[in-house]
Amino acid sequence: MQNKTTEINLIKQVLAGNQGAYAELIRRHQRFVFTLALRFAKNREDAEEIAQDCFVKAYRSLNSFQQTAKFSTWLYTIVYTTSMTFLRKKRLETESIDSEGSLIQLENHTSDFRADQVEQKSKFAYLNMAISQLLPDDAAIITLFYKGEQSLEEVARTMGMETNTVKVKLHRARHRLKEKLEALLHHEVEELL
């Protein structure tokens, strides 16, 4: 509760013109905002762009924060909507698979995968890999509920859904996550044999 009170005080300071107070709000939430954006974007550069856009949007609309929910829930709603908008725009800008740029990206992705194999041996890395293979809504629900430690009601508000819908989607997302983890770990076992 102390953290929420402090955030409300920080918000009041920002609205009074204190830029340092907003820097503190960013510091507190930047890691999770980036993580959530990365779940949607699937690459670091896009996630950084989304995170930056989110903090700009949050700053511009901070006076509309109602304090009926936690600041983090309000902020993660901005992350969700900004990410979805970004992905829709990006889909419209798709390149032909035959283009030279696509082949270079594919080669870079393959070499990056080999370079990262050592890091991916930990349980945490496998979990993140499995989450990244989920649909964006599934990844968001899993991330908000478990990593963000938000209640079903807060996740529902963030994603603009009914609580029961989130409950059902969370159940299904956990099942899909389990399947992805089993496939990843099965593949790893085969490589070791």
127-177: pLDDT as tens digits: 777 888 888 888 888 888 887 778 899 888 888 889 999 999 999 999 998
Q: Which of 87, 86, 63 is nearest to 74 (CA)?
A: 63
Q: What is the pLDDT of residues 32-75, one digit of tens each?
A: 999 999 888 888 999 999 999 999 999 999 988 887 778 888 89
111 plus 181 within the same structural domain: yes
Count of domains forming the chain: 2
- Domain final position from 59, 94, 129: 94
31 plus 109 within the same structural domain: no
CA 111 to chain centre: 25
86 plus 114 within the same structural domain: no
Query: What number of other Cβ atoms are within 10 A of residue 15's Cβ?
Result: 13
88 plus 121 within the same structural domain: no
Alpha-carbon gap, residue 114 to 183, rounded angstroms: 19
90 plus 53 within the same structural domain: yes
The parent domain of residue 145 ranges over 101-193
For 85-123, b where at least 16 C-beta lie within 10 A, e where not — what string?
Answer: ebbeeeeeeeeeeeeeeeeeeeeeeeeeeeeeeeeeeee
85 plus 145 within the same structural domain: no
170 plus 88 within the same structural domain: no
Task: For residue 126, give every residue at least 6 positions away whose Cβ sits within 8 Å of its Cβ, in sequence order, or none.
Answer: 120, 181, 184, 185, 188
Long-range Cβ contact pairs of 16-19 (< 8 A, separation 24 or more): none
90 plus 105 within the same structural domain: no
Q: Which of the 8 DSSP states describes residue 134?
A: S
Predicted pLDDT at 73: 86
Query: 19: part of which helix (H) or strand (E)?
Result: helix 19-41
145 plus 82 within the same structural domain: no
Dihedral sign for Cα atoms in the order 28, 40, 49, 104: positive
32 plus 63 within the same structural domain: yes
- Domain final position from 76, 94, 112: 94
The enclosing domain of 114 has a CATH number of 1.10.10.10
Q: 3-state DSSP: the chain helix, strand, coil percent, rounded to 5?
A: 80, 0, 20
- Domain final position from 94, 122, 138: 94
128 plus 163 within the same structural domain: yes
150 plus 83 within the same structural domain: no
Q: What is the pLDDT of residues 92-141, one digit of tens each?
A: 655 444 444 444 454 454 445 444 444 444 666 777 778 888 888 888 88
Alpha-carbon gap, residue 99 to 87, rounded angstroms: 21
Alpha-carbon gap, residue 71 to 64, rounded angstroms: 11
The radius of gyration of the chain from alpha carbons, rounded to an integer in Å, stands at 19
The enclosing domain of 43 has a CATH number of 1.10.1740.10
Predicted pLDDT at 169: 93
